[in-house]
Structure 1
Amino acid sequence: MRYSGFRSGLWLAFLLVTANACTTASSGGNTAAGVTAPGATLRLVARQFSFTEGPAVDKAGNVLFTDQPNNTIWKYDTHGQLSKFLAPAGRANGLYFDQRGNLLACADEQNQLWSIAPDGKVTVLLADLQGRRLNGPNDLWVHPGTGSIYFTDPYYQRPYWTRTAPEISSQRVYLLPRGQTQPLVADDQLQKPNGIMGTPDGRQLYVADIEAHKTYRYRIAPDGSLTNRQLFVAQGSDGMTIDHEGNVYLTGDGVTVYNAAGVKIDHIAVPAAWTANVCFGGPDRKTLFITASEAVFTLPMRVQGVQ
Structure 2
Amino acid sequence: MDRRAFLSVAGALAAVTTMAPKAFARNFEPSSEPVRYPEPDVVVLDKRFKYKLGNTPILRLYRGTLWAEGPAWNTVGRYLLWSDIPNDEQLRWIEEDGHVSRRFRSPSGNSNGNTFDYQGRQLACEHGNRRVVRYEHDGSVTVLADKYDGKQLNAPNDIVVHPNDGSIWFTDPGYGALMNYEGHRLKSATVQPFQKEATYRIDAQTGRMEKVDDSCFKPNGLCFSPDYRKLYIVDTGASHYPEAPKAIRVYDVDGRRLANGREFCSTELGGKAGFADGIRADEDGNIWAGMGWVGDGYDGVHIHAPNGD
Query: Shorter-chain-normalised TM-score: which range?
Result: 0.7 to 0.9
Q: Is the 8 A contact 2:111 2:124 kept in 1?
A: yes
Cα distance in 1, alignment partners of residues 204 and 124 from structure 2: 15
Q: 1:59 aligns with which of 75, 93, 97?
A: 75
TM-score (norm 2): 0.74
Alignment of 1:140-159 (within 5 A): 140-156=159-175, 157-159=178-180
Count, aligned residues: 248
Q: Kindly indicate whether residue 144 of structure 2 is the aligned counterpart of residue 105 of structure 1.
A: no
Cα distance in 1, alignment partners of residues 86 and 220 from structure 2: 18
Q: What is the aligned partner in structure 2 of residue 20 from structure 1?
A: 26
Q: What is the aligned partner in structure 2 of residue 203 from structure 1?
A: 229
Q: What is the aligned partner in structure 1 of residue 259 from structure 2?
A: 227
Q: Is the 8 A contact 1:241 1:248 kept in 2?
A: yes
Q: Is the 8 A contact 1:132 1:167 kept in 2?
A: no
Q: Secondary structure of the equivalent of 2:276?
A: coil
Q: Kindly indicate whether residue 194 of structure 2 is the aligned counterpart of residue 161 of structure 1.
A: no
Q: Is the 8 A contact 2:151 2:195 kept in 1?
A: no
Of the two, which has the highest radius of gyration?
2
Gaps spanning 5+ residues in structure 2: where? 1-20, 29-34, 239-244, 268-274, 292-298
Deviations 1:77-132 (A, max 9, x none): 22222114211111110001000111000011111000013554311111211331
Closer, same or farther: CA 246–112 of 1 in aligned 2, 3 Å: same
Q: Is the 8 A contact 1:240 1:250 kept in 2?
A: yes
Structure of greater relative contact order (alpha carbons < 8 Å, 6+ residues apart): 1
Q: What is the aligned partner in structure 1 of residue 280 from structure 2?
A: 241
Q: RMSD of the alignment, in Å? A: 2.2
Richer in helix (by share): 2
Cα distance in 1, alignment partners of residues 148 and 280 from structure 2: 28
Q: Kindly indicate whether residue 90 of structure 2 is the aligned counterpart of residue 73 of structure 1.
A: yes
Q: Kindly indicate whether residue 251 of structure 2 is the aligned counterpart of residue 218 of structure 1.
A: yes
Q: Kindly indicate whether residue 308 of structure 2 is the aligned counterpart of residue 262 of structure 1.
A: yes
Closer, same or farther: CA 227–32 of 1 in aligned 2, 3 Å: closer
Q: Is the 8 A contact 2:226 2:285 kept in 1?
A: no
- Find runs of 4+ consecutive structure 1 residues off by over 6 angstroms: none
Q: What is the aligned partner in structure 2 of residue 178 from structure 1?
A: 204
Gaps spanning 5+ residues in structure 1: where? 1-14, 264-307
User: Per-residue deviation at 1:50?
Assistant: 1.0
Q: Secondary structure of the equivalent of 2:222?
A: strand
Cα distance in 2, alignment partners of residues 139 and 172 from structure 1: 12
Q: Is the 8 A contact 1:86 1:120 kept in 2?
A: no
Q: Identity over the aligned pairs, expressed in percent?
A: 29
